[in-house]
Amino acid sequence: MSEINFGRYREYVAARVDANNAMIALLAGSRLAAHSLQLHAGSPHQLPGLFPAVKDIDRFNLLPDHASELLLEADAHLSAVAIPYALAVYEAFVKDAVAMLKNEGYTVAGDRNALSAGRMHQTLFDAAGEPQPEDVIPLFHVLRCLRNAQIHHAGTVTREVTGTLSAMSEQQRGRWESLTMGSVEAMIVGGKLHFSLGHLVAAFAVTKEAARRINALLGQKISRRSWAIIAVSDFAEDAAHPRNSRQWKRGLEGFSRFHYLGGLSLSSQELEHAARESGLWTARAW
């Protein structure tokens, strides 16, 4: 699917990639560390004595065998951290997408909870007059409820969690289990949430796909005139050439061709009108 890589969307993608890479780096690091500690299996010396040059190692003042066990169990903890991380980055983007529709003149719900995590998609898609994508938004709500249970109830399975899980259709459940690489039932152990690497994968995969759907929605609902103005403003922020120069014009046209895809194909004339309307091009000739 071709995307419109406007400035705010590029920021979101970069933040998501950074968050995903950070989680995977921590996961890989924990496994590398556990592998290295196998060389010291059975040692009576604690980690600070074995690795005195490692900064802050005294905070991990354990015997190698115990430390290795904890590191090998890091998947669950990292996944528990990844869900709130991925959702926080994504939710900020959704709210900005709502603001874009509002700026375009669409009627947006303005009550206190309209932009809450549980309502923001309804607010967005109702404003656009389109149905919510049933193959991805319900999976976001599963992640949201898991996040709430983990943060506010110390990982205890809540009615919100069980209700959201039971409401999934067969297709949604199949997609969820494909992403998490395990059954829904395996996620709950003794009334507590039990996360795995698959939940880390699901957190970033679901939010990535949902953001792409919103990108496509904005492409349909925002007018070409507005997209041209957005593109011009986006380019002008970091333009290296002086305004009203041939280089500036060519730079804008190339920038638009590269970033503003998604079926837009903004013409040179549309960009000219937007640049003049924005006061960024004042020369007589284009």
Q: Over the stretch 226-261, which tens digit does the pLDDT of each residue have?
A: 999 999 999 999 999 999 999 999 999 999 999 998
- Whether residue 68 lies inside any domain: the answer is no
Residues 148 and 169 in one domain: yes
Q: What is the pLDDT of residue 262?
A: 81
What is the rounded CA–CA span in Å between residue 68 and residue 178?
29
Tokens, residue 6 = 């406007």
Residues 91 and 212 in one domain: yes
- Whether residue 39 lies inside any domain: the answer is no
Torsion of CA 266, 270, 271, 272, to 10 degrees: 160
Residues 204 and 78 in one domain: yes
Higher pLDDT, 58 or 104: 104
Residues 139 and 212 in one domain: yes
Interval 128-138: pLDDT, tens: 999 999 999 99
Residues 145 and 267 in one domain: no
Residues 167 and 151 in one domain: yes
Residues 210 and 131 in one domain: yes
Greatest CA separation found in the chain?
A: 81
Residues 266 and 146 in one domain: no
Q: What is the pLDDT of residue 1?
A: 54
Q: Which residues of 246-256 are buried (b: 16+ CB within 10 A; e: fewer)?
A: eebbebbbebb
Q: What is the pLDDT of residue 73?
A: 86
- Whether residue 151 lies inside any domain: the answer is yes
> Of the candidates 221, 250, 269, which is a domain's last residue?
221
Q: Model pTM? A: 0.91
Residue 161 has pLDDT above 60, yes or no: yes
Only one residue has tokens 């890479």, namely: 21
For the chain, what is the mean pLDDT?
95
29-33, 130-134, 274-278: range with lowest mean pLDDT? 29-33
Q: What is the count of structural domains for the chain?
A: 2
Domain residues for the domain of 231 are 224-277
